[in-house]
Amino acid sequence: MLRILHDTKIDFIKSWRLAVGVTIAFIAIGLVGLILHGGLNRSIEFTGGTLMQLEFAQPPNVGELRATVDAAGFRGAEIQQFGNNREFTVRAAGHATGANAQVQNTATQIRSALDQKYGAGNVRVIREEIVGPRVGEELSRNAMIAILISLGITMVYLAFRFEWRFGVAAVIATGHDLLSTLAFLAIMRLEVSLTVVAALLTVIGYSLNDTIIIFDRVRENLKKARPEPLYDVLNRSINETLPRSILTHATVAAATLSLLIFAGEVIRPFSWIMLFGIVTGTFSSIYIAAPVLLWVERKWPRSKGGKEGPSARSASGPAPRPSSPRTPVGAR
């Protein structure tokens, strides 16, 4: 039988400081970028405004296109090539205001300006999204609520199925994934649309999945008769699940890569986030969830009465240290 990384004994957790340092640096870079760019590059679903995807019969001159849109009264509209050189998106932030103004006015004006310039039939509007400001606000709020609620529910479920320490560790690891994915979004300047929010939530689910697979092993190993420090249990569990991790990540990466390469421009931000999600999800399961679990264990050692011996009296600091006989944290 073909085996990859079978029966390894790598001390993963030893280098947690380095790993945490790297991820904090990455998130910091992302956040600085975020501040420099003045926030996330949010799609008009969130900001409100008008987006038009245009298909030209002939590749147009971008400067000319910009001039046409400017002349129609939408100075500062964002114009981007989308896929091939005959397709462009026009993004106008504002829309007509006033008591009777309808949100669709902007699109109609741009449309007629383009028809005049290029001749009707030479430019086709193949996608059009017009969103009022209130809808956008509501969406942003709903997206935030969705993420918070899903994290809350997960924590409760894990507290029920495992115990609260695992829930806390898993949720902190997931929070890390959220932050690092946001940093990734900022660095890549990806447009945050509703689809991207869906991808973000998928990343959360996937990362949790990964963490839970390892925690399941930890739970099982803790039940074994041989008392072992939690540090060692964690390391052993990560090593034991390593072949599974490699294989699953390989198949998911295969699906994600083919989406990224072949599924076209519309779904590309989704694919990028999923690809990054595989990396950060794997990383956080090992280097965030496990150290946090160790830390929580030290801070609030479990005391289940008679069944276990006196546990973790020597808990001295938040930082988990390599196994030493003085820290018999785990259960029997």
Partner 1 sequence: MSNLKWRLALIGVLVLVSAWALFPRNVKVRQRRADGTFFDTTTYRVPLRKGLDLSGGMHLALEVDDSKGVVADKSEAIDRALKVVRTRIEGLGVSETVIEKAGSDRILVEIPGIDDRERAIKMAQDQAFLEFQITDKTNGLEKALPRLDALAREKGFGGAAASAASTVPSASTGLGGLLTTGKDTTKTAAATKSDSAKADSTKSDTTALATTGGPISKLIMAGSMPGQFAIEREHFDALKTFFESPDVQKVLPPGKVVRFGNDSTVLGGKNYRFLYLLDERPIITGEYLTEAKPNQSPIDGTVVEFGLSNEGGRRFQRETAKHVRDYMAIVLDKVVMGAPPVINSAIGTRGQIAMGQGRDLQAAQDLALVLKAGALPVPLRVAEVRNIGPSLGRDSINKALTAGAIAIVMIVGIMLVYYRFSGLLAVGGLALYVLYTLAALAGFDAVLTLPGLAGFILSIGIAVDANVLIFERIREELDRGKTVRTSIDDGFRHAMSAIVDSNVTTILTAMVLYQFGTGAVKGFAVTLIAGIAASMITSIFVVKTFYLLWLNRSRGAQTLSI
Rounded to 5 degrees, what are φ and ψ at 260? -60, -40
Q: Which is nearer to partner 1, 71 or 263 (CB)?
A: 263
Count CA atoms within 13 Å of residue 314 on its CB side: 11
Sequence-distant (≥ 6) Cβ neighbours of residue 264 within 8 angstroms: 83
Taking the complex as a whole, how short is the minimal distance between the CB of residue 96 and partner 1, in angstroms? 12
DSSP string for residues in 156-206: HHHHHHS-HHHHHHHHHHHHHHHHHHHHHHHHHT--B-HHHHHHHHHHHHH
Q: Is 194 in the site for partner 1 (CB under 8 A)?
A: yes
Cβ neighbors of 249 (< 8 A, separation 6 or more) are 278, 282
Smallest gap from Cβ 263 to partner 1, in A, equals 4
Q: How far is the CB of 295 from partner 1 (least distance, A)?
A: 22
Interface mask toward partner 1 for 93-132; x: CB under 8 A: ------xx-xxx--xx---------------xxxxxxxxx
Q: Which is nearer to partner 1, 19 or 54 (CB)?
A: 54
Identify which range of 64-72, 73-81, 225-233, 264-272 contacts partner 1 by CB under 8 A.
264-272
State which of positions 65-84 bind partner 1 (CB under 8 A).
Answer: none
Q: Pattern 142-171, binding to partner 1, x per CB under 8 A?
A: xx-xx--xx--xx--xx--xx---------
CB 67 within 8 A of CB 112: no
57 binds partner 1 (CB under 8 A): no
Footprint (CB under 8 A) of partner 1, residues 197-236: 197-198, 201-202, 204-206, 208-209, 212-213, 216-217, 219-220
Complex with partner 1: residue 212 or 312, whichever CB lies closer: 212
Selected range binding partner 1 among 31-39, 181-189, 222-230, 252-260, rule: CB under 8 A? 252-260
Contact flag: residue 267 with partner 1 (CB under 8 A):
yes
Residue given tokens 């038009």 in the structure block: 52
User: 3-class DSSP state for residue 78?
Assistant: strand
| Residue 182, strand partner residues | none
Q: How far is CA 307 from the centre of its chain?
A: 41
Torsion of the alpha carbons at 117, 120, 125 and 126, rounded to the nearest 10: -140
